[in-house]
Amino acid sequence: MNEMELRVLKSMARQYPTIAAASTEIINLQSILNLPKGTEHFLTDIHGEWEQFNHVLKNGSGSVRRKIDEEFGNTISYKDKKSLATLIYYPEEKLEIVQKEEENLEDWYKISLHRLVQIIKRVASKYTRSKVRKALPADFAYVIEELITEKEELTDKEAYYNEIIRTIIRIGRAPQFIIALCHLVQRLVIDHLHIVGDIYDRGPGPHIIMDTLCSYHSVDVQWGNHDIVWMGAASGSLACIATVIRVAARYGNLATLEDGYGINLLPLATFALETYADTNCDVFAIKYNTDYNTKDLSLDTKIHKAITMLQFKLEGQVILRHPEFGMENRMLLNYVDFEKGTVTIDGKTYPMKDMDFPTVDPKDPYRLTDEEVKVMFRLQQAFMRCEKLQKHVRFLFSKGGMYKVYNGNLLYHGCVPMNEDGSFTRVNVFGKEYSGKALYDVLEQYARKGYYSKDASSKLDGQDIMWYIWTGAGSPVFGKEKMTTFERYFVDDPETHQEKKNCYYRLLEQESTINHILEEFGLNAEGAHIVNGHVPVEQIHGESPIKCGGKLLIIDGGFSKAYQKKTGIAGYTLVCNSWGMRLVAHEPFESMEAAIINESDIFSDSITVENYYQRRLVADTDNGREIKENIHYLEELLETYREGTIIEGR
């Protein structure tokens, strides 16, 4: 035994100071290995649609309803199953309705409590008693444990349990107890949640989604390009701040910034009103939904134009700082002929739809006016001092990354940049080329510097990288040749709006391509999967999310309402439990109110991706490997106790 191993064992001996303690832990860990693996839930491209997100999270993509069917079969009616499911999803809201409408409330409480206890017994059966105990709400932990734990020594067990429930009702605690049980079902039905990118933009509630994720029991996040631009904005990147505000303005979601995060946009609004008072803003129409307050339309349109011009200027400044990004072709203000009202793109000249730019100097188009400098400074301070935004972004850094390898699956948003021949594209990052896994790693490293570094130069480089990850041709999470924002605003010709996808998307049906990627990230190509977000799967046109014989799963199906006409559905989710993997295609979610009042769930079509020939256990997971390693060291610790190398109790 070398000195390092002995040091590890001595450290472990402080936690397990006796043979008895070490032996007990070995027995405990060995038994955990033989439990079924927990259920994993994969979601992607949520894009601020918080009501649908919350519903899918609450129902576990149909997992709750399946547990109800398994537990009760034909012993209760379809209507009762729907009511029980709705109660589990929305206990507080459902109880309000029941308390007003139910004639025999005591009976309803009794029936509901018994059914909820049965469901909890079923969903808790795959966990250790210790893990379930940790999940119990503090106020009712003892009572719930009594109800869900079999007690063989009790001869009149049924009477004992019935008396507990009767007492809960008699003392007026039934509503609170029901709420606690419902949240416990939601907590236990999903063991771990994966968010495969793009929480932000388009929909109205990313801040609500982030609040939910911050309190979720077990979660990881793979950054999407819409997430990274918000992370860049929170770090102080001016180009990212302008982009975040422009996208919010374009989709009528400025309220997300002002009300959701408390970011003061008044300096920008004042600037827009004064500078663009007599300016044509027709090109900058707002794509608003039914929740949008149209009284703000005129002001928001001016804000939209003001921040868009700021974005183009600030992006140009980033590109000028970093010629290695190879994005000079995105500096299109250079190619505007201000006398003729045209722009030259890739050697071809087009008429501009708008030439009314009061802040643009044709001789120096990327210079900010003095007023623009002041506005951006105040916006930068607002973003960097926003406590809620900073909390959410720190969560994304602590729980997230550019990719994740988890239980034999590779998770990422976007693509692994590739060439036509299937080789990995080499991307220049500050003068050095990276590809494959190394590209992901270096981009993530610089992104973290952009937020956390104390060195001003290093921090600015990191912020510029976050902007590049949002929109650069070599960015894995963007995955396109260019982002044609300028062309979509100012040029009618739809050919200029095309955003050519990376070769990855043409090669992903080739098994050699997928195997190459899996091996690059250290996975055995046999039995592993890639779970991928970012590009909506157009089911309406017959496209399948299952690629390459099930090795690649693209689970972006249009959670965002902005994409649902294109996809024909309202998003895919993936559920992986001890029996296999299921892909779930969701119909559009009407509203939380309809789900509660009408007991309407999201209709979901489930597709089996893979059935395991043998049930997967904890031993087959990443956590299982860690447990086996702990068992190994504990067994070595036992030997050192028995040999006298380490003395018990010291």
- pLDDT score, position 503: 94
pLDDT digits (tens, 9 = 90+) for 43-55: 999 999 898 889 8
pLDDT digits (tens, 9 = 90+) for 247-277: 999 999 999 999 999 999 999 999 999 999 9
The answer on pLDDT for 601 being more than 70 is no
What one-character DSSP code corresponds to residue 191? Answer: S
Exposure string over 6-15, b if 16+ CB within 10 A, otherwise e: eeebeebbee
Averaged pLDDT of the chain? 90
Q: Largest Cα–Cα distance of the chain, in whole Å? A: 95
Give kind and range of the element (H or E) at residue 530. Answer: strand 529-533
End-to-end CA distance of the chain: 19
Tell me the two tokens of residue 372: 């623009």
- pLDDT score, position 516: 96
**Percentage, residues of the chain above pLDDT 90:** 71
As a whole number of angstroms, the distance between CA 187 and CA 481 comes to 42
The answer on pLDDT for 539 being more than 90 is no
Strands 219-222, 409-413: pairing is unpaired
249 exposed, middle or buried (CB, 10 Å; 0-12, 13-18, 19+)?
A: buried
Tell me the two tokens of residue 385: 């001092």
Give kind and range of the element (H or E) at residue 348. Answer: strand 348-351
CA–CA distances in Å: residue 253 to residues 230, 303, 467: 14, 12, 21
- pLDDT score, position 164: 87
Question: Mean pLDDT lowest for which of 153-167, 273-287, 501-515, 576-590?
Answer: 153-167
The answer on pLDDT for 370 being more than 70 is yes
As a whole number of angstroms, the distance between CA 471 and CA 414 comes to 12
The answer on pLDDT for 591 being more than 60 is yes
Confidence of residue 481 (pLDDT cuts 50, 70, 90): very high
Confidence of residue 536 (pLDDT cuts 50, 70, 90): low
Q: Determine how many CB atoms are found less than 10 A away from the CB of residue 138.
A: 7
- pLDDT score, position 564: 58
As a whole number of angstroms, the distance between CA 63 and CA 126 comes to 14
CA–CA distances in Å: residue 458 to residues 98, 446, 451: 58, 8, 10
- pLDDT score, position 274: 95
The pTM of the full predicted model, rounded to 2 decimals, is: 0.93
pLDDT digits (tens, 9 = 90+) for 174-203: 999 999 999 999 999 999 999 999 999 988
**Percentage, residues of the chain above pLDDT 70:** 93
The answer on pLDDT for 154 being more than 60 is no
As a whole number of angstroms, the distance between CA 137 and CA 181 comes to 9
As a whole number of angstroms, the distance between CA 537 and CA 553 comes to 10
As a whole number of angstroms, the distance between CA 532 and CA 414 comes to 7
Sign of the torsion formed by the C-alpha atoms of 258, 262, 263 and 266: positive
pLDDT digits (tens, 9 = 90+) for 231-249: 999 999 999 999 999 999 9
Alpha-helical runs (H) found in 498-601: 504-507, 511-520, 564-567, 592-597
The answer on pLDDT for 534 being more than 80 is no
Average pLDDT of the segment spanning 316-333: 95
As a whole number of angstroms, the distance between CA 650 and CA 646 comes to 8
As a whole number of angstroms, the distance between CA 472 and CA 311 comes to 15
CA–CA distances in Å: residue 511 to residues 345, 410, 518, 524: 37, 15, 11, 13
Strands 432-434, 342-345: pairing is unpaired
Q: Determine how many CB atoms are found less than 10 A away from the CB of residue 314.
A: 23
Ranges of each domain in the chain: 3-34+620-643, 61-189, 222-489
The answer on pLDDT for 361 being more than 60 is yes
Tell me the two tokens of residue 120: 């909890």
As a whole number of angstroms, the distance between CA 2 and CA 352 comes to 73
As a whole number of angstroms, the distance between CA 71 and CA 123 comes to 10
Write down the residue that tokens 């590890």 correspond to. Answer: 8
Strands 529-533, 552-554: pairing is parallel
Query: CB–CB of 232/466 below 8 Å?
Result: yes
Give CB contacts under 8 A, 24+ apart, made by 457-466: 459/235, 459/236, 461/430, 462/235, 463/232, 463/235, 463/236, 463/237, 463/240, 464/237, 464/239, 464/318, 464/321, 464/322, 465/429, 466/228, 466/229, 466/231, 466/232, 466/235, 466/237, 466/240
192-195: strand order across its sheet: 400-401, 219-222, 192-195, 40-43, 572-576, 580-586, 604-611
φ/ψ region of 326 (left if φ > 0, alpha if ψ in -120 to 50, else beta) reads: left
pLDDT digits (tens, 9 = 90+) for 72-92: 998 999 999 999 999 999 999
As a whole number of angstroms, the distance between CA 468 and CA 473 comes to 8
Alpha-helical runs (H) found in 149-296: 157-170, 174-189, 206-214, 225-235, 238-250, 254-255, 266-275
The answer on pLDDT for 351 being more than 70 is yes
